[in-house]
Amino acid sequence: MKLDKKTCLRLLDAMKREMARSTKGLKLKGHRRPYFLSYLLKAQEGFNLWGRYGTIFSENPWVENDLYVQCRVGSHRFDQTFDGNLDQDLSKKDSYGWIEAAKELEPRTLRYSLWRLTQLKYEEALQDYYEKKKVLVEQNLDQSLASFSREEVLRHIEDVEPVRFPVARWRGLVREISALFTKKKRLVDPYVRVQGVNLVRMFINSEGSRFLTQDRFYEIALTSWILAPEGHYLSSSQRFYTRSIDKLPKKSELIRAADALEKELLELRAAPPVEPYTGPALLSGQATGLVFHEALGHRLEGERLRSRQEGRTFAGRLGTRILPEGVEVFDDPSLADWEGQGLYGTYQVDDEGVRAQRVHLVKNGVLQHFLQSRTPIQGSKHSNGHGRMERYQNPMARMANTIVEVRDPWTPQELEQALLEETVERGLDHAILIEGVSGGETRTDHYDFQAFKGTPTKAHLIDVRSGKKTRIRDLQFIGTPLAILQRVLALGGPYEVDNSYCYAESGSVPVATIAPMMLVADLELQRAAKKSYRPPILPRPPL
């Protein structure tokens, strides 16, 4: 079904009717009734196709209509949730079997699905409520904070238009661009992928809030591998993200991207593997964004301050310096683009019905705020519009568009000169330049190491005497959050946008980082684990 505004409003009305029925009649004799209910329908349609050597290998249209019901029993002060709701595996609950609405959305069957899911969520909420009471018998849980915040009633209705993906044109594009790789014989299994996603969210809660939003996401990726002399495969991608179909790259740009991908892989194959290293490093804007995302951003998610399992790295640091003077960090979901480039983390209302807000996390190097959902934290009782989730998971505070700014930026030349001087002062022969990254991860719980890591896609060793740059590969950079942030020496140069997806307890959500280059006094590099393979017995057949 192609959704338009009129159809969505009919569905919202059906959600309202079923919520009114549940609010009035949902009570198990002898037990508490819900004090809060919310319904969220995420109607998502997408089209994904990819091909190799001028042929379509896979074409996959899909429709996913996911339901999320939040049912809370008790009161805003004390309900069934604890530990920030981070430790629940909802995929093992009975309600998980009812999170998918019908593929063909219509009011009657939507109400039926909500009725079934609400009943199960209510029963599970009661079980969790009594489990929490039982835990209180033997454990002294912190009860100084409320379980759930009170927020203003929100009404936000956007226009919704049916999306028609230009499938025929995309097929032609994939065939034409992937055919270019027939002449690039040293590359292994190259492919071209095009994807479009249309997401419509419909929300209503028992407090009277409601919203209707539409978001679109588009991506083109060119990916390939090459066999290194040691027998393991090296990979590289050229990726293009946009929120507007009109801003997808033209054919000429994709042709250049295919050539750049080949050049990149040949350079990577010729590069020597890295030796373990600890010392000064200069990071590109994309790499800077990843460090701030992993080392800082995840540790500023409010729920982590409520969980007994978390390390709470910055719990007692509000109002204290965590970065050099002049460094500002914001998270702004309402920001649609940066210098003409659309941002993947953009939204107007979060998944709990709270309007998106720009949050000044770090001001002049001093920690000011945390990201918040409707889970209150010490010193802040209200959400700042960052409650997000992927499908069935409980919403939690998540990053959206994270921006790192510096008041007095250094030029790239000044940063590189300072890098060499710092390296000489440390008595080292080489410095590190990281120009691209493909992803990272971190651990925040106190049962494991408080560490993060990233995987560079482009890195160089710089000889401090000659200034010569040597490409290196097979590396990861690792560190601990406080150590890396306290060893930031300077920032500046061009800002880079990195659109991607971020995974945490509430699932995978689209995000963006915007950051300049960064000089750090210490970065540790380690060899990346690799498996060794034999080359194919026969050469590639003629194409």
* Predicted confidence (pLDDT) per residue in 394-416, tens digit: 999 999 999 999 999 999 999 99
What does the block give as tokens for 202? 């419909």
Distance CA 474, CA 459 (A): 10
Place of tokens 């010569």: 468
Residues 6 or more apart in contact with residue 57 via CB below 8 angstroms: 50, 51, 191
Distance of CA 471 to the CA centre of its chain: 29
Ordered by start, the domain boundaries in the chain are 5-44+60-162, 169-200+209-270, 277-527
- Residues 160-192 pLDDT 10s: 999 999 999 999 999 999 999 999 999 999 999
- Residues 255-305 pLDDT 10s: 999 999 999 999 999 999 988 889 999 999 999 999 999 999 999 999 999
Interval 357-366 mean pLDDT: 97
- What pTM did the predictor assign? 0.94
Instruction: Determine the straight-line distance between the first and last CA of the chain, rounded to whole angstroms.
Output: 40
For the cut 80, the answer to whether the pLDDT of residue 233 exceeds it is yes
Distance CA 526, CA 17 (A): 58
Q: Are strands 233-242 and 469-472 parallel, antiparallel or unpaired?
A: unpaired
What separation in angstroms does the CA of 248 have from each of 114, 229, 503, 529? 38, 36, 25, 35
Distance CA 379, CA 144 (A): 11
- Residues 51-87 pLDDT 10s: 999 999 999 999 999 999 999 999 999 999 988 888 7
Closest CA to 308 of 480, 72, 86, 74: 86
| Residue 425, H or E segment | helix 412-425
User: Are 524 and 408 contacting, i.e. CB atoms less than 8 angstroms apart?
Assistant: no
